Amino acid sequence: MEQLKIGDKVYNTQQDGFDDFIRYSFSEVVELTKTLAILKNGVRLFNQPKISYITEDIGYSVARKRGLHWHLVSLKAIRNAQIENEKIAAYDWFEEKQFSLKEKQWIYKSFKEAAKK
Protein backbone atom coordinates (compact mmCIF):
# COMPACT_ATOMS: atom_id res chain seq x y z
CA MET A 1 0.00 0.00 0.00
CA GLU A 2 1.73 3.12 -1.28
CA GLN A 3 1.04 6.78 -0.77
CA LEU A 4 -0.29 8.82 -3.67
CA LYS A 5 2.11 10.68 -5.96
CA ILE A 6 1.61 13.71 -8.20
CA GLY A 7 0.01 12.52 -11.43
CA ASP A 8 -1.81 9.55 -9.91
CA LYS A 9 -5.33 9.13 -11.30
CA VAL A 10 -8.06 8.43 -8.76
CA TYR A 11 -11.81 7.96 -8.76
CA ASN A 12 -14.76 8.01 -6.41
CA THR A 13 -18.21 6.47 -6.63
CA GLN A 14 -21.41 7.85 -5.15
CA GLN A 15 -24.90 6.43 -5.01
CA ASP A 16 -28.08 7.90 -3.53
CA GLY A 17 -29.68 4.77 -2.15
CA PHE A 18 -29.53 1.21 -3.42
CA ASP A 19 -31.84 1.82 -6.39
CA ASP A 20 -29.83 4.77 -7.76
CA PHE A 21 -27.13 4.58 -10.42
CA ILE A 22 -23.48 4.53 -9.38
CA ARG A 23 -21.96 7.86 -10.37
CA TYR A 24 -18.21 7.96 -11.01
CA SER A 25 -15.94 10.98 -10.49
CA PHE A 26 -12.37 11.00 -11.78
CA SER A 27 -9.52 13.31 -10.88
CA GLU A 28 -5.74 13.54 -10.64
CA VAL A 29 -3.32 14.31 -7.81
CA VAL A 30 -1.80 17.74 -8.50
CA GLU A 31 -0.24 18.68 -5.16
CA LEU A 32 1.10 16.98 -2.05
CA THR A 33 1.50 18.28 1.48
CA LYS A 34 2.96 16.51 4.48
CA THR A 35 -0.27 14.55 5.07
CA LEU A 36 -2.62 15.36 2.16
CA ALA A 37 -2.94 14.74 -1.56
CA ILE A 38 -4.84 17.55 -3.31
CA LEU A 39 -6.78 16.62 -6.42
CA LYS A 40 -7.33 18.70 -9.55
CA ASN A 41 -11.00 19.10 -8.57
CA GLY A 42 -10.04 20.53 -5.15
CA VAL A 43 -10.77 17.43 -3.05
CA ARG A 44 -8.21 16.87 -0.29
CA LEU A 45 -7.34 13.28 0.58
CA PHE A 46 -5.39 11.90 3.49
CA ASN A 47 -2.34 10.47 1.77
CA GLN A 48 -2.42 7.34 3.84
CA PRO A 49 -3.85 4.23 2.14
CA LYS A 50 -6.28 2.23 4.20
CA ILE A 51 -8.45 -0.83 3.80
CA SER A 52 -11.72 0.12 2.15
CA TYR A 53 -14.73 -2.13 1.72
CA ILE A 54 -16.61 0.39 -0.43
CA THR A 55 -15.49 0.00 -4.06
CA GLU A 56 -11.93 -1.30 -3.98
CA ASP A 57 -9.79 -3.01 -1.35
CA ILE A 58 -7.63 0.08 -0.78
CA GLY A 59 -8.87 3.66 -0.51
CA TYR A 60 -7.80 7.16 0.49
CA SER A 61 -10.10 9.02 2.86
CA VAL A 62 -11.39 12.50 2.11
CA ALA A 63 -10.23 15.05 4.67
CA ARG A 64 -13.11 15.84 7.06
CA LYS A 65 -15.21 13.03 5.54
CA ARG A 66 -13.33 9.89 6.53
CA GLY A 67 -16.14 7.59 5.38
CA LEU A 68 -15.76 8.82 1.79
CA HIS A 69 -12.92 7.15 -0.12
CA TRP A 70 -11.17 7.66 -3.45
CA HIS A 71 -9.35 4.81 -5.20
CA LEU A 72 -6.60 4.43 -7.78
CA VAL A 73 -8.00 4.19 -11.31
CA SER A 74 -7.92 0.78 -12.97
CA LEU A 75 -9.12 -0.49 -16.34
CA LYS A 76 -11.97 -2.26 -14.51
CA ALA A 77 -13.08 1.03 -12.92
CA ILE A 78 -13.00 2.82 -16.28
CA ARG A 79 -15.06 0.08 -17.93
CA ASN A 80 -17.57 0.02 -15.05
CA ALA A 81 -17.92 3.81 -15.33
CA GLN A 82 -18.58 3.53 -19.08
CA ILE A 83 -21.26 0.88 -18.52
CA GLU A 84 -22.90 2.91 -15.76
CA ASN A 85 -22.80 6.12 -17.84
CA GLU A 86 -24.58 4.30 -20.68
CA LYS A 87 -27.32 3.24 -18.26
CA ILE A 88 -27.67 6.82 -17.02
CA ALA A 89 -27.80 8.20 -20.57
CA ALA A 90 -30.50 5.71 -21.59
CA TYR A 91 -32.53 6.41 -18.47
CA ASP A 92 -32.26 10.19 -18.91
CA TRP A 93 -33.21 9.95 -22.60
CA PHE A 94 -36.38 8.01 -21.80
CA GLU A 95 -37.23 10.42 -18.97
CA GLU A 96 -36.91 13.48 -21.22
CA LYS A 97 -38.38 12.03 -24.45
CA GLN A 98 -42.06 12.56 -25.23
CA PHE A 99 -43.12 9.68 -27.48
CA SER A 100 -45.78 10.07 -30.12
CA LEU A 101 -48.39 7.33 -30.45
CA LYS A 102 -46.68 6.13 -33.63
CA GLU A 103 -43.33 5.84 -31.79
CA LYS A 104 -44.98 3.99 -28.89
CA GLN A 105 -46.56 1.52 -31.34
CA TRP A 106 -43.21 0.95 -33.06
CA ILE A 107 -41.46 0.36 -29.69
CA TYR A 108 -44.24 -2.00 -28.59
CA LYS A 109 -44.05 -3.96 -31.85
CA SER A 110 -40.24 -4.17 -31.62
CA PHE A 111 -40.37 -5.51 -28.07
CA LYS A 112 -43.01 -8.07 -28.96
CA GLU A 113 -40.91 -9.32 -31.89
CA ALA A 114 -37.76 -9.45 -29.75
CA ALA A 115 -39.58 -11.44 -27.07
CA LYS A 116 -40.54 -14.11 -29.63
CA LYS A 117 -36.88 -14.75 -30.50
pLDDT reading at 7 higher than 80: yes
Q: pTM of this prediction?
A: 0.80
Q: Which helix (H) or strand (E) holds 90?
A: helix 75-96
Q: Please state, rounded to an integer, the average pLDDT across all residues of the chain.
A: 91
Q: What percent of the chain has pLDDT above 90? A: 76
pLDDT reading at 82 higher than 90: yes
Task: Return the domain boundaries, the chain.
Answer: 9-116
Greater pLDDT, 15 or 39: 39
Q: Are the C-beta atoms of residues 44 and 104 closer than 8 Å to each other?
A: no
Q: Which helix (H) or strand (E) holds 96?
A: helix 75-96
